[in-house]
Amino acid sequence: MSFTDSLRGYAYAVHKRDGFKCRYCGLDGSDQYENWIRLSLDHLLPKGHPNRDNPDFTVTSCMFCTTADNWFFQNAEKRGLTFEGMTPEQLVEQRKPFVLKVREAYFEFWRENVATSSVP
């Protein structure tokens, strides 16, 4: 059994290219094992797009960021977003504010309802 095939197989090359860091929040998988096992892949293009599974249009993302703005593609038209003719870098920048907005909302919730000590 090959663990590299079954676990991080095709994601490994993408993770390595991205320095094992989530492209949205910066979570560093090279720093700690607990971070590394949280790394996933994020598709920058919607389902059905010919380049969707092209590794160039797939980036390292932690599990939270990957699903944070889960309706991103469904909401794209409403938000006036397009995907054609954009570089992977531009697609990350386009998606980032939506992902970080959800992260911030979760942080506020955590601070108010979960954190045991007072957090500034």
- 20 touches Zn ion (CB under 5 A): no
With CB under 5 A as the contact rule, the residue among 11, 12, 25, 94 that binds Zn ion is 25
- 59 touches Zn ion (CB under 5 A): no
Phi and psi dihedrals of 3, rounded to 5? -70, -30
Site for Zn ion in 79-118 (CB under 5 A): none
For Zn ion, the closer CB: 5 or 26: 26
Question: Residue 60, exposed/middle/buried by CB under 10 A (0-12, 13-18, 19+)?
Answer: buried
At its nearest, how many Å lie between Zn ion and the CB of residue 62? Answer: 3
User: Which residue pairs, CB below 8 angstroms and at least 24 apart, start in 8-15?
Assistant: 10/55, 11/39, 11/40, 11/41, 11/60, 13/55, 14/41, 14/55, 14/58, 14/59, 14/60, 15/39, 15/60
With CB under 5 A as the contact rule, the residue among 65, 92, 95, 98 that binds Zn ion is 65
For Zn ion, the closer CB: 27 or 91: 27
Owner of token pair 């504010």: 97
For Zn ion, the closer CB: 5 or 37: 37
* Contacting range for Zn ion; rule: CB under 5 A; set: 1-9, 26-34, 72-80, 90-98: 26-34
